Chain A
């Protein structure tokens, strides 16, 4: 059964004021419940494309339909209710004097009543597990906490789709992992996730679909397991799959009964155990 299409991108082109042709005919559909990794080098058009998905930018040619609404014809606020955007640097996003006001800002903008706002603020903070006083100045939070606050302020809008632009940049491994687990939970709760990242290991492990942009065009779009095992295609964009996938590909090539589409250490462990059990069981 075909899943509901939430965002339709139809042959869009975008030019920056300096003349750079950032998107050169991008077409794709985003379905409800997908977890998409959007990959590509800096300057490939990833962020430009992502900003089209929530109406922050509108195409010069072609169109973007969010739940059937043409983004050129409505305000960003209207689209923001459906598609939330977490910016790369939380410092650029956070501006209010208190944690409460930071999260409430978007809600007030779309006219949510105050008692409902309070409920949503508390709920959003609970989801991202940020237990700080509501009147605390967000600038005193650590970087990891600021990231979670930025996500909370997007979550409070209850968007169906959440775009995260390089959310793990600048975080150490433990905090990156925690953040990815949070994003995974949001996905499990029904949010459609679009993750812009350079971290191939996280993209492989968490996403179900991968889109690679290269010089403003989509050069790969498919199940992550398929895209990540096409080394030539990845190399076009100077990308390499994670080490565990490379290991699987090599073992597969040597004729061992290991599928090459291994996206995480855990999957590889399971393959080894399967072989181990079968060998033991049959001997």
Chain B
């Protein structure tokens, strides 16, 4: 049986009209339904450009030299309009201010479904549903100007969800938010993946977050994918993340440093819980290597 994919990107190249070089240079990339993929890479590596190819903004809106094929939820982006594609793939950007187009939360959530020409009852049903997901059900009549940054971004995501896409593409959606807003939006994204089964493709530079929640991390540099795998695979050595000038989760960085110093480790922890157990065992080993440990008593 043929395996089904939510997203298939086949040898995609793209050069912006004003661009000197290709922003994407032969991208091959597949995402299964329900996967949570985080894309990382330095500024200018092409990760946002890749995001734009996933809902047809490239090549329909941003013109340029496009080669290759992108199929999302079975639709070839070259053969379908952005409007059609947006019922399959929702995309949300960095700046929440720039994405809100109406005056109130209710109007914002109604905007997409109204444009689809859905019957009134269906529009109301969808608004209720997505407002609940975004925890905005008690703020429907509030002006969008009076929402916090995190609430604005949650609203931007909810208004995209009102079109019932199966795939959500998030382009650094928390990078302009404060810690409370970041927490609010991150929690919502994880819930959408785990409880609602949405396929998530998130461009994000928060390594600790990616290590904890992603099924797969894709590393891009200079228009190409230079590595991908589960968080365990990607952070198994410092090479990949350091190549692009990033760091790994701090608990992994600690393991790399200890290995550089000659300490033998059998694995690299990537999350906090895992690290607490791992380093406890390591400390036990070190301390027990000299028999009775006076250190604990000193405390």
Question: Which residues from chain A sit less than 8 Å from chain B, CB to CB?
Answer: 41-43, 142-144, 169-175, 177, 198, 200-201, 238-240, 242-244, 246-247, 250-251, 254-258, 265-266, 268-269, 272-273, 275-276, 279-280, 282-283
Say if the beta carbon of B138 comes within 8 Å of chain A.
no
Say if the beta carbon of B286 comes within 8 Å of chain A.
yes
Chain A residue numbers with a CB within 8 Å of B254 are 244, 247, 265, 268-269, 272
Contact of A254 among B258, B280, B295 (CB under 8 A): B280
Instruction: Indicate with 1 or 0, residue by residue over B41-57, a CB within 8 angstroms of chain A CB atoms.
Output: 01100000000000000
Whether B205 contacts A243 by the Cβ 8 Å rule is no
Q: In whole angstroms, what is the CA distance A253 to B208 when docked?
A: 22
Q: In whole angstroms, what is the CA distance A268 to B255 when docked?
A: 10
Whether B246 contacts A173 by the Cβ 8 Å rule is yes
Query: Which of A43, A173, A280 has most chain B Cβ within 10 Å?
Result: A173
Asked whether A255 and B299 contact (CB < 8 A) given A175-B43, A240-B179, A269-B254, the answer is yes
Whether A272 contacts B276 by the Cβ 8 Å rule is no
Whether B286 contacts A174 by the Cβ 8 Å rule is no
> Given known contacts A250-B272, A254-B276, what 15 new A-B pairs fall within 8 Å (CB)?
A41-B180, A42-B148, A169-B175, A174-B42, A198-B178, A198-B182, A200-B179, A239-B179, A243-B208, A244-B250, A247-B250, A247-B275, A251-B283, A269-B261, A272-B286
B181, chain A: closest CB distance, angstroms:
7
Q: How many residues of B are counted as interface, with CB atoms below 8 angstroms from the partner's CB atoms?
A: 44
Q: What are 26 A-B contacts defined by CB distance under 8 Å?
A: A42-B180, A170-B176, A171-B43, A173-B245, A174-B244, A175-B43, A243-B251, A247-B272, A247-B275, A247-B276, A247-B279, A250-B276, A251-B276, A254-B276, A255-B296, A256-B280, A257-B298, A258-B283, A265-B253, A265-B254, A269-B254, A269-B258, A273-B258, A275-B283, A275-B295, A283-B291
Q: In whole angstroms, what is the CA distance A187 to B286 when docked?
A: 38
Whether A172 contacts B43 by the Cβ 8 Å rule is yes
Contact of B179 among A41, A169, A173, A258 (CB under 8 A): A41
Q: In whole angstroms, what is the CA distance A201 to B208 when docked?
A: 11
Whether A169 contacts B296 by the Cβ 8 Å rule is no
List 8 A-B pairs, minimum CB-CB distance, nearest first. Answer: A174-B245, A283-B290, A257-B295, A244-B250, A42-B178, A243-B250, A269-B257, A250-B276
Contact of B263 among A42, A174, A198, A272 (CB under 8 A): A272
Chain A residue numbers with a CB within 8 Å of B275 are 243, 247
Say if the beta carbon of B289 comes within 8 Å of chain A.
yes
Whether B272 contacts A172 by the Cβ 8 Å rule is no
Say if the beta carbon of B249 comes within 8 Å of chain A.
yes
Chain B residue numbers with a CB within 8 Å of A240 are 179
Residue of A whose beta carbon sits closest to that of B176: A169
Contact of B286 among A200, A255, A279 (CB under 8 A): A279
Whether A243 contacts B283 by the Cβ 8 Å rule is no
Chain A residue numbers with a CB within 8 Å of B181 are 42
Which residues of B, 254-276, contact A by the 8 Å Cβ criterion? 254, 257-258, 261, 263, 272, 275-276
